[in-house]
Amino acid sequence: MVLGIETSCDETAAAVVDQDFHVHSSVVESSIDEHRAFGGVVPELAGRAHVATIGPVVRRALDEAGLNATDPAIEGIAVTSGPGLIGSLLVGLSAAKGYSLAWGVPFVGVNHLEGHLFAPLLEASDLEWPFMTLLVSGGHSLIVLQREAGAHEVLGETIDDAAGEAYDKIARWLGLGYPGGPEIDHLAQEGTAGTLKLPVSMTGDDFDLSFSGLKTAVVRATQHSDVALADVAASFQAAVAEQLLRKLRRALEHHPVKGLALAGGVAANSALRAGVVELAAEFALVPHLPTMAMCTDNAAMIAAAGLYRLRASGPSPMDLSANPNWQLADVS
């Protein structure tokens, strides 16, 4: 069994997962309420919240897994060491090193994005390799070909904003709350897509994504118009989903796979989920839509990636640093 620790952004999370990817516990505490007033995550506040919360969260994860908190029967610790907010990452990393020394077990630094890639494996026992994953969150948007556990190729990624970031910024522009994704998604249900004529970005011959042009287009189109807010939300939501699904279709045309998975916070989006189900049917694939708990940041996915990393590359050294800009590298 491995203890996972995640503190890359505003969630303080700990989980216990075994080698069959059975989740024995998964505890997530978020400091989001402290950030709402600022319209985005304030790094300093997030870091301080992690310091106060990490100990109790780890203890709860051990308790809920039925493990002794002072001498738990775990064989390793997996911790997110990047990418993310440096002050937040360091809290989790320091905690992992402390537990590693105290319990005499190895620890391994895990790439947060690789963690997201393992999330579908925790929920879908019928998942067949290879499969295509659209990973869309507040910080990242990638299309990844997953060949087998731990072996993946990044086919395309955003050249500017992440999909969730675009949602959050447009929500702020429209005067909606933070985080903006759920707010716009909710409002979009009452609006008509296409009311606002928006460009479809990135129609090129690659798998890359871009949301900055769309964001500017929404701002321009709403500056001096009285289009209903719900119609703006529906039009924006449709444009984001169309771009993502278009590029995903291209990826599926070029790389035959057996499954199609969604990951990351934006995987909660209703238009995207519906579109992925349709796309999967078109290509006769099994769609893997994560539960809401598995869409957002959690430590079970970090523990799963760590189980793999400990086996494949061994433990990390005690002087491992956090890497706030750690890119997801291709692994064959």
Q: What's the min distance (Å) between Cβ of 26 and Zn ion?
A: 14
Residue 268, binding choice from ligand KG4, Zn ion, none, Cβ under 5 to 8 Å by partner class: ligand KG4
**CA–CA gap between residue 5 and residue 267 (Å, rounded):** 22
Tell me which stretch binds ligand KG4 (CB under 6 A): 96-104, 117-125, 178-186, 316-324: 178-186
Total of residues contacting ligand KG4 (CB under 6 A): 19
Any idea which residue has 């905690």 for tokens? Answer: 95
DSSP string for 196-246: S-------SSSS-B--HHHHHHHHHHHHT----HHHHHHHHHHHHHHHHHH
Helical axes 229-254 vs 212-223, angle rounded to 10°: 160
**CA–CA gap between residue 163 and residue 165 (Å, rounded):** 5
Q: What's the min distance (Å) between Cβ of 165 and Zn ion?
A: 12
Q: What's the min distance (Å) between Cβ of 315 and ligand KG4?
A: 25
Give the bridge partners for 6, in sequence order. 13
Binding of Zn ion at residue 183 (CB under 5 A)? no
**CA–CA gap between residue 183 and residue 229 (Å, rounded):** 11
Binding of Zn ion at residue 6 (CB under 5 A)? no
Q: Give 67's DSSP letter.
A: -
Binding of ligand KG4 at residue 139 (CB under 6 A)? yes
Q: What's the min distance (Å) between Cβ of 3 and ligand KG4?
A: 21
Give the CA distances from residue 307 to residues 77, 103, 127, in Å, rounded to whole numbers and listed in that order: 9, 17, 18
Quickly count: other Cβ atoms within 10 Å of residue 86's Cβ: 16
Residue 123, binding choice from ligand KG4, Zn ion, none, Cβ under 5 to 8 Å by partner class: none
Site for ligand KG4 in 255-284 (CB under 6 A): 264-266, 268-269
Binding of ligand KG4 at residue 9 (CB under 6 A)? yes
Q: What's the min distance (Å) between Cβ of 118 and ligand KG4?
A: 14
Q: What's the min distance (Å) between Cβ of 28 and ligand KG4?
A: 10
Among 114, 144, 297, 308, interactor with Zn ion by CB under 5 A: 297
Binding of Zn ion at residue 100 (CB under 5 A)? no
Among 167, 211, 308, 326, interactor with ligand KG4 by CB under 6 A: 167
Phi-psi region of 256 (alpha: psi -120 to 50; beta: other; left: phi over 0): beta
Binding of ligand KG4 at residue 326 (CB under 6 A)? no
**3 versus 113: smaller Cβ distance to ligand KG4:** 113
Among 179, 191, 290, 306, interactor with ligand KG4 by CB under 6 A: 179
Query: What sign results for the dihedral spanned by CA atoms 124, 128, 134, 137?
Result: positive
**CA–CA gap between residue 168 and residue 10 (Å, rounded):** 15
**CA–CA gap between residue 73 and residue 230 (Å, rounded):** 52
**CA–CA gap between residue 268 and residue 302 (Å, rounded):** 19
Among 88, 137, 141, 235, interactor with Zn ion by CB under 5 A: 137
- 11-17/2-6 β-pairing: antiparallel
Residue 179, binding choice from Zn ion, ligand KG4, none, Cβ under 5 to 8 Å by partner class: ligand KG4
**12 versus 137: smaller Cβ distance to Zn ion:** 137
Binding of ligand KG4 at residue 168 (CB under 6 A)? yes
Applying CB under 5 A, the residues found at the interface with Zn ion are 137, 297
Applying CB under 6 A, the residues found at the interface with ligand KG4 are 9, 137-139, 164, 167-168, 179-182, 185, 264-266, 268-269, 296-297
